[in-house]
Structure 1
Amino acid sequence: MSPTRKKVIITQSNYIPWKGYFDSIALVDEFILYDDVQYTRRDWRNRNLIKTYQGLQWLTIPVEVKGKYFQKIKETKISDKNWADDHLKAIKLNYAKAQHFKEVFPFLENIYQKAKNFVYLSEINYLFLSEICKYLDIHTPMKFSYEYPYQSEDRNLRLIEICQLANATDYYSGPAAQSYLDITLFEKHNIKVHWLDYSGYKEYAQLHPPFEHKVSIIDLLLNEGKNSKQFLKYTTK
């Protein structure tokens, strides 16, 4: 009998990320949020895109960054408590005519109300990820990397150590990591590296043409509701 294999992804948490992010969660056996690394500005950690009548618009969670150049994602705090209401207003304004607005907006509104109770960006991202996964019937366990007592400071060895602590045999990563990931080193530690493929997504009934794939998952949810799973690759059809 061949040994049991375990697939993992180790990546930073994002705010209401695009559908490909949720597909990657559905693909693996454990999804590890890598939030004890440095927070990067103007990135997907605290913002994402929605469709509007005027084109694409950022929904951004304001965070404390002044003088905090080396803070970790898990240490990053929210700087304006009104952000949730502002985002809800923008969603309502631009998606009121979406086919599944009446069903999905209350679901999103409930998450935003819960999010108001959190101080840290990482907690908010986890909340949205976990609640939207439930909606999509994605049941992959999610953990934070700091739950594993790794010690290495080297970029590749740290990932390898987390994989080992998680008993992972297969590590999945986005194509951007090809520039720094040492595949040979992973293989020496009996971990097989796989690259995620974000091509081949079907279009759905999106508002405000032209069609745009790389917008927040909430765009798909508001337009397709429970049918959203049909437009992902790795969810149960």
Structure 2
Amino acid sequence: MEYFGMNKNIVITQSNYIPWKGFFDSIALADEFVVYDDMQYTKRDWRNRNLIKTPQGLRWITIPVEVKGKYNQKINETKISDRRWNKVHWSTLKQNYCKAKCYNDSREFVEHLYMTVNSDYLTEVNLHFITNICKFLGIDTNIRLSSEFILKQERSERLLDICLKLDGTDYYSGPAAKSYINEKIFVDAGVRVHYFDYSSYKHYEQLYPPFEHGVSILDLIFNVGNQSINYLKAKSGGDS
């Protein structure tokens, strides 16, 4: 297959709550970032929880949600069950990051995120955090929702369909997707498939050793503040 013209990178992934730095790296790399919000909601996953560091080790902070049935509820249909969750989470973050190097510089920004979130739906809450953290990091990628599109049903075909509707030439996905993506249909359609390499991230001054990469982006923000973008590979010249 021959490829001509300008490249256009497409990333499609389910939304996460206060995701780790690799999630924002994928947004920074994309020309169009699509939140796969009409997929099935999965319990005990990254959709409504993430990890922070504490003196006692890693800790999950979780948005309480209503789950109706096992298989039919979509992410964008998932409602929050306790509207007080934001105050609880902000209190937990203050308690565990108040000694971080850039806590005082970052506190107002993060507190504002928590105090201004007001949706009953998980997708909208996640987008509130993702879009505002992108602004903090200086990432201006266009963010879309998969529910905007009328798509085919088979998994790989749905992903390809989004790429084609957005005139994408290159599709980027996490390494776990190698087990299910039908790369041939992408190649046949003129779309190259790439997988992110999440290794070789730089360490930063982090509380409570040992160092952990796979924690919420808020850990990075509290520890290095407005230098956070320099620890993303897409913006600092590293390979994706």
| TM-score normalised according to structure 2 size | 0.95
Which runs of no fewer than 5 residues in structure 1 stay unpaired?
none
Quote the residue 2:149 is aligned against: 148
Q: CA deviation at 1:69?
A: 3.4
1:90 matched to 2:99:
no
SS in 2 for 1:234: helix
Q: Which residue of 2 aligns with 1:167?
A: 167
Q: Percent of aligned positions with the same letter in both sequences?
A: 54
- Give distance in 2, aligned partners of 1:234 and 1:178: 21
Query: Is 1:47–1:60's contact at 8 Å kept on the other side of the alignment?
Result: yes
Pair 1:218-2:218 in alignment: yes
User: What is the 5 A alignment of 1:26-65?
Assistant: 26-65=28-67
Aligned-partner SS, 1:187? helix
Matched, 1:6 2:8: yes
Helix, strand or coil for the counterpart of 2:220?
helix
Alpha-carbon distance in structure 2 between the residues aligned to 1:195 and 1:236: 19
Kept after mapping to 2: 8 A contact 1:206/1:223: yes
Superimposed CA distance per residue, residues 193-234 of structure 1 (whole angstroms, 9 cap, x where no aligned partner): 001010110110000111000000000000000111111111
Counterpart residue identity of residue 99, structure 1: K
CA distance in 1 between counterparts of 2:97 and 2:231 reads: 19
Which whole-Å CA distance do the structure 2 matches of 1:15 and 1:137 have between them?
A: 19
Q: Secondary structure at the match of 2:100?
A: coil
Q: CA deviation at 1:184?
A: 0.9
Distance 2:235 2:128 in 1: 20
Structure 1, 128-137 or 105-114: larger mean CA deviation: 105-114
Structure 2 residue identity aligned to 1:156: S
Q: Which residue is equivalent to 2:184?
A: 184
Which residue number corresponds to residue 70 of structure 1?
A: 72
Letter in 2 for 1:90: T
- Partner AA of 2:162 in structure 1: I
SS of residue matched to 1:80: coil
Deviation at 1:61, TM superposition (A): 0.3
Q: Aligned with 1:123: secondary structure?
A: helix
1:68 Cα deviation (Å)? 5.5
Tell me how large the CA RMSD over aligned residues is. 1.3
Is the 8 Å Cα contact of residues 137 and 235 (structure 1) preserved in structure 2? no
Aligned equivalent of 1:113: 115
Residue type of the alignment partner of 2:107: F
Find the aligned partners of 1:69 and 1:188 in 2 and give their Cα distance.
32
**CA shift for structure 1 position 49:** 0.3
Measure the CA separation in 1 of the matches of 2:29 and 2:229.
Answer: 13
- How many residues end up aligned between the 2 structures? 235
Q: Deviations over 1:115-173 (max 9, x none)?
A: 1x1010000000100000000000111000111222x1111111111111111111000
Q: Output the TM-score relative to the length of structure 1.
A: 0.96
Task: Give the Cα–Cα distance (whole angstroms) in 2 for the partners of residues 66 and 38 of structure 1.
Answer: 12
Shift of 1:236: 5.8
Distance in 2 (CA, whole Å) between partners of 1:210 and 1:137 is 29
Deviation at 1:235, TM superposition (A): 2.0
Per-residue Cα deviation, 1:73-111 (whole angstroms, up to 9, x for no partner):
000000011100110011000000111111212111111
